[in-house]
Amino acid sequence: MSFKKDFIWGAATAAYQIEGAAGEDGRGLSVWDTCCKRPGFVRDGDTGNIACDHYHRYKEDVKLMKKIGLKAYRMSISWPRILPNGIGKINEKGLDFYDRLVDELLDNGITPYVTLFHWDYPQELFKKGGWLNPDSSDWFAEYTKVVVERLSDRVKHWMTLNEPQCFIGLGHSKGVHAPGLKLDLSDVLCASHNALLAHGKAVQTIRKYSKELCEIGYAPVGVVSFPDTQSKEDIEAARKATFDFDGPSLWNSSWWIDPAYLGSYPEEGLKVFEKWLPKIGADDMKTIFQPVDFLGLNIYRGPRVRMDQNGNPAKVKKNVGYDQTAIKWQITPETLYWGPKFFYERYQKPILITENGLSNTDWISLDGKVHDPQRIDFLNRYLREYKRAAQDGVDAKGYFCWSLMDNFEWAEGYNERFGLIYINYQTQERIIKDSGFWYKSVIENNGENL
């Protein structure tokens, strides 16, 4: 049994990670442009100034997408490329680029899935307080309106925010991602609330201004735990661990998803964060809780848990020498079964895997090709679990492999290769890896050969 007939097979990227052309055609600075200048912020001093030069090579890249057989492409828009100051004057050359890219995708039979924010926050708005500013959600709505008015005659699939756990948690609390802040938890929670308000206002804006019938979702990290055994106790422990709180940690799912999909913050989270909570306006939850069509989940890994003697979830110690990817993430295919299952049960929305993949030690072999059997094995294992979830009743909408091509991996620079396409950063040569051709066969068979 394969996936449903209209299952979406795609790959994903983010604007700052691939576009380059950082100072061209009127683009403004983002917080990542600024942080890349800080000594030691990005490994090896790498920047996104050139990246994969997708801004100039998008036609070549779309041809490669077609060669791989992609049905859909998850892309993001660079906010400061559209609005150099974050608000106000529109940069028409920036909009023109996305116009051309969308047309090129559609001309090649590839459906665009557009993410409005994938971390490249405008530097000029950061100077005004960024996500801490009470006007920040209105700024995002203004930006959303500009993009939707220009592209919604052709773009019908939208995502608001990508991984707020990262751009808020890692960017404003841990300080390891842009804008590189280590704020008090009260300020971090203020920023998180404003980001959720931005999601809600963006949904409202898309609904109001879209020129075509559209569908809208959101792409948080799917923070997943999975059961040690198939016992009812361990399954319940994994479910609890997936949605409950292990202290005042931002690395969870329910804090970020419940408000948008259920209309309220989780009670346990309100108790855990009580002394740091921002003032929540009377209509804030109504604003955040907007009708959405699917739930996007970025899932790569998660801990194994069991129920302890006191009826609480307990993490199972990792095996010595556990399987891991090049970026040292544990390989846990089970998360692509239990994650979709738990999230579908809780939120009752179709599940779209918006990111999944691995960093691998890829290089060009003597035969001129890039052989990456580990990636093929990894994707096969995870997709089999997702397929099993679909067979067990989960409304599995689609799958976007991360990533279409090797790219700028944030604080790790160019030291991690996640792509189905190899990028030689010295020459900008592109080579489809063995995994890209394998993925083509999976798409052609709608997953029957997994």
Binding residues: 17, 118, 162, 300, 402, 409-410
Residue 115 CA from chain centroid, whole number: 8
| Orientation angle between helical segments 335-347 and 254-261, nearest 10 degrees | 40
Q: Name the residue among 355, 324, 323 with its Cα closest to residue 339.
A: 355
Return binding residues for substrate: 17, 118, 162, 300, 402, 409-410
Task: Indicate the SS3 state at residue 234.
Answer: helix
Q: b/e per residue, 147-171, with b = 16+ CB within 10 A?
A: bbebbbeebbbbbbbbbbbbbbbbb
State the Cα–Cα distance between residues 121 and 336, nearest whole angstrom. 30
Q: Measured between alpha carbons, how far is residue 245 from residues 238, 242, 252, 405 in Å?
A: 12, 8, 7, 35
Q: Measured between alpha carbons, how far is residue 130 from residues 14, 81, 90, 133, 318 in Å?
A: 20, 17, 19, 6, 39
- Whether the CB-CB separation of 430 and 60 falls below 8 Å is answered with yes
Mode of pairing for the β-strands spanning 295-298 and 157-162: unpaired
Cβ neighbours around 443 below 10 Å, total:
17
Mode of pairing for the β-strands spanning 226-227 and 304-307: parallel
Type of residue numbered 163: E
- Whether the CB-CB separation of 73 and 39 falls below 8 Å is answered with no
- DSSP state letter for 172: I
**Catalytic residue ranges:** 163, 355
Sign of CA dihedral 104, 62, 112, 446: positive
Two tokens, residue 242: 């997936």
